Amino acid sequence: MELSVEDRICKAHISLMQDKRTLAYSGILMVGKTIVDDYCPTAATNGRDVIYGTDFVKSLTDQELRGLILHENKHKMYMHLILWRKLYEEDEELANRACDFVINLEIKDLDKYEQFIKLPNDGYIDEKYRGLDSGEVFKLLKEDKKNGKGYGKGQPLDEHQWKGAKQMDETEKKTLVKEIDAAIRTGALLASKQGGDVDRSFEEMMQSKVDWKEQLREFVSTVCIGKGSSTWAKPNRRWLQQDMYIPSQVSESIGSICVGIDTSGSISSQDITKALMELVALCDTCTPERVDLLYWDTEVAAHETYFEGDYDGLVRSTKPKGGGGTAVQCVPDYIKDKGLKPQCVIVITDGYCSGWGTDWGVPVLWVLVENKYDTPTHGVTIRVD
C-alpha cells in the first residue's frame, strides 16, 4: 500500500530522529507546524512552520525527502528569516541563495553516508562558500552580480516566506527564538546521551546564543533523574506511539553528579574560584542529592563529597589540590575505581589536554574556560567568555 504524503513526511521525521547522524535535530523537528499543501510548488518555511507541496514530495525519493526536510529545518535552526531580514530587504533573490548555499553544503556532507540523506537535484551548492555564514555569502554574491559573474550554481529548492516571518509580532519572535534555542540544546543533549553526532553547527549556535551558566544548569537538570518526574524517566507521550523516546518535563531535583576541576599548572586560581562559585549556584538551583568534587591534573589529587545542606559552605571549606600536567583520563578511571555512580560528569578545564578520556559511562559536559583550544571529541561543550 502506497503511503500518503503526510505519512511519508512523518516517516521521514522519525528516521531523522532515530539515526545517530541526525538525532541532534530532534528538537528542531518538533518546532512549529508541518503542513501539506496541494498548491505549494516545492516547499516553504516562514522560519517556524514548514509547508510541503504534495506533488513535489511525491516526486522525491525517501533520501531526497529527508534531505528536503533537513533543509527546511536548518532554516529554522539558523533563524534565517529573522536574523537576515536586512539581506532580504536589500535583495530577496540573493538573500534566498545565500541562506541555501550555507545549508546545502552541510547536507552534502551528510549525503556521502550510505545515501541516507540526499540533496534533491540542482539545489544551490558551491564549495567556494564553505565555512561562511549567510551574510558573508551574500556579500560575495552581491559582488559577483555587480561584476556580471552570475550568482552561483543550482536552483532553489524551496520558498522563503520572508513576509510570513515579518507578520510575527515581537512576542511571537521572542517565543520562537527561545523555543529554537531550547530545541538546539535538547537535541544536542539527546544525541550526547544516546551516542549520536553533535556537529559543529550545534556547538556554534549554543555558544553564540546561550549564557554558559544557564546551559550548565540546563544540562544537569535535563540528563539527571530526580526525585520526582524527570526528562528521561518520563518520555514525551506525543512520540511514544512512534517508538520514539523523547524527553518531556524537567525534574526539580536531581541525583548524584560528579564535578572534575582541572588544577593543572595552566589553570589560574581565578578560574578555579569562578568554577566553584558557579557550582554553588548550580547546586542552589538543581539541588543534587550528592556532589563528588574531584581536583585533578595527571591524577585525582583530591576528592571531596558534599550533600544537600552542605553547598553553601563549599567555597569556604574546599581545598583545591594539584598543579602538575593534564591527563583527563584520570577522571573516568577514578570514578570507576571508586565505584561512584554519578548521573553526569561536569569537567571544568582550559582544554589544554592531550586527549578527552574514554569510558565515561554517563553524559559529560565540558566547561572550557579558554577559547583557544580544540573542542572535545565527545560529550557536550560550552565555553566561558
- For residue 95, being part of any structural domain is answered with yes
- pLDDT digits 0-9 by tens, 189-224: 888 777 777 777 776 676 544 456 666 777 776 777
193, part of any domain: no
Q: Are residues 175 and 285 in the same domain?
A: no
| 154 and 257 co-located in one domain | no
Q: Does the pLDDT of residue 328 top 60, yes or no? A: yes
The three three-digit cell numbers of residue 350, written as one number: 582550559
Instruction: Please state the domain count of the chain.
Output: 2
For residue 189, being part of any structural domain is answered with: no
Residues 25, 149, single domain; the answer is yes
Is 149 found in the same domain as 36? Answer: yes
| Domain identity same for 180 and 258 | no
Residue 247 and residue 232 in contact, taking contact as beta carbons nearer than 8 Å = yes
Work out whether strand 159-160 and strand 364-368 pair parallel, antiparallel, or are unpaired.
Answer: unpaired
What pTM did the predictor assign? 0.58
- Is the pLDDT assigned to residue 246 strictly greater than 50? no
Q: Are 294 and 334 in contact (CB under 8 A)?
A: yes
Judge whether 228 lies within some domain.
Answer: no
> First CA to last CA across the chain, in angstroms?
55
Same domain, 150 and 48: yes
Instruction: Kindly state whether residues 38 and 169 are assigned to the same domain.
Output: yes
Average pLDDT, the chain: 83
We report the CATH number of the domain holding residue 308 as 3.40.50.410
Of 132, 159, 184, which residue sits at a domain end? 184
Full domain range(s) for residue 15: 5-184
Within a domain: 236: no
Alpha-carbon distances of 253 from 109, 173, 227, 292, 308, rounded to whole Å: 40, 31, 6, 16, 11
Q: Give the CA count within 13 Å in the CB-facing half-sphere of 285.
A: 17
